[in-house]
Structure 1
Amino acid sequence: QAEDEKKALESKSSTQWISDCRHRAAVKVQRAWLGYRTRATLDEEHSRWVVKWTMDPPTSTVALIGDFTSPPWSERLPMKYCPIRGCFVAILNGSPGHDHQLKFIVNGHYICDGSETVVSDSAGDLNNLVRVKPPQQPSPLCQIRARLQAATTRRMQQAVSERAEIRPPLPLCEDESVHVSVDVRENESVDVREGNILDVAVGWFCHLFRVESPDWAPVSSMQ
């Protein structure tokens, strides 16, 4: 009976350890994803024509219509709620420096944004007048991220190369440890233990979504 209780306790401890690792990995992946989405949003604000509607809650149905379609005023463009911006947005293509007239459709009602310029068209209808910004150079944040990403890539390649040269082969099985071999790239593998399971999860995320790997402090081993 004592032996059974010991095995049950060890099994429970292992299960709790795996659960804690999964939770901490999920937190890191979520943090990396939110950072990626925030940076993508800033890039859109800098380089694209972004139309916003800020007057209604996320449960509303908002669309956009205007002379930016072909033919003009022929298509309703649904607007999506952006939790980062806190409003409805639509990413449009327009001629830089050109004026466009548009109108919002909120829960089936046509309405203008009173915070923007309002003009009257030939039929006497009121529309918002928007001028498309000319193309801009990459933002300073984009340039800084590009340099940091290049430096991070060089450090990762150097670390993998050094690890392959100086680290001896690992045994197939070790007592009281967790050992997994993960194929990260074509002919490269990395040893995953308690301390770096979370870093591998985040590394896979960054590799799949082509985002730079954040420089987080290493995770301490669990007792």
Structure 2
Amino acid sequence: MDNIILEKTEDKKELKRKAILKAAADVFSKKGYIDTSIKDITNEASISVGSFYSYFSTKEEILVQIFEEISNMSIEAASESSKFSKDNIIEQFTRSMTSAVCIYVKNKEFAKILFVKSMGINESFEKKRSEILDRTSFYLKTMLEHLRKNHLCIIDNIEITSVLLTHSIFGVITNWLDERLKCSIEDIIFSLCTYHLKALNINHKAENVHKYIKKVINSDYKELLG
């Protein structure tokens, strides 16, 4: 009985923590990170300032948490999606890329704060941004090692290639979020997939890449179509 009560208490805490994160992201997107106060966040979340400090120490901590959660969700989505069609490297690669990018698109306002509106806030946050990029590079490095091990492509330097992949992906996402790229999300993902498949010398047909992208979006991310 005590364990059940404890679990319910923990569930409530997690729900409240996520509610604060969402409220903060909503205010950040309206007022900008710099101009947002903790009082703005507590007003949006309909909680007391004291309650806020039970979960977070600063608004910077919230920003870091948002970044962590979205990046973790993106890597997890890519990893899960890559488990499909292991006998078809083109579909596996395309599914993985599509799922990863769609997480940022689905959380567009959060992602915009992280990649566009919070650039250069302070040294500690830039360090966190670097950690996230490193984590993504590590995931891609693992994927590239699998490709090379199974003779699916020739990669001279996996370390450099994983960094190049990471920065090209985040560079495109950032430009799209900042509305410097006026393309549909399907076009963005198609260009990323075909660019990287060519860079890895993996033969592919454009129509198949389009087909695999649509398969993922239509099954898991229909709300992004428009």
The reply to whether TM is greater than 0.5 is no
- Please report the TM-score for the alignment, with normalisation by the length of structure 2: 0.23
Q: Which has the larger radius of gyration?
A: 1
- Please report the TM-score for the alignment, with normalisation by the length of structure 1: 0.23
Q: Name the one with the larger strand percent.
A: 1
